[in-house]
Amino acid sequence: MHVYRTFNSLDEASVGHPEYFGVMKEAHDDARAFNAPVYPMVRIELVDVKIDKSGLVELLNEVQKFEILRTWCLTARGGLKEIENGE
């Protein structure tokens, strides 16, 4: 299953506890709630979540690692720009 997550790449608290969304528009709206000066550091990632019995147990125990499929940052005006994964 694919979901989107948002976080500020410079804020350790935000990186450690991203917000998750089912659709890109909701993730983009959440990302735009950050202050404009940090827009270039805000990340939206499309991640693959393994959903089977073992994946669910890992998720509930917070040990599951997600595969990052695509990554975007916000432009200075709040638009989306695709970047390399992990940037």
The CA angle 25-31-15, to the nearest 5 degrees, is 125
In a domain, 44, yes or no: yes
User: Which residues are paired to 72 by β-bridges?
Assistant: 44, 82
Taking only the tens place, the pLDDT of each residue in 18-33 is: 899 999 999 999 999 9
In a domain, 87, yes or no: no
Domain residues for the domain of 78 are: 2-82
In a domain, 49, yes or no: yes
Taking only the tens place, the pLDDT of each residue in 31-83 is: 999 888 888 899 999 999 888 888 788 877 877 778 899 999 999 999 999 99
Q: Please, are residues 3 and 22 in contact by the beta-carbon 8 Å criterion?
A: yes
Number of domains in the chain: 1
**pTM greater than 0.75 (yes/no):** yes
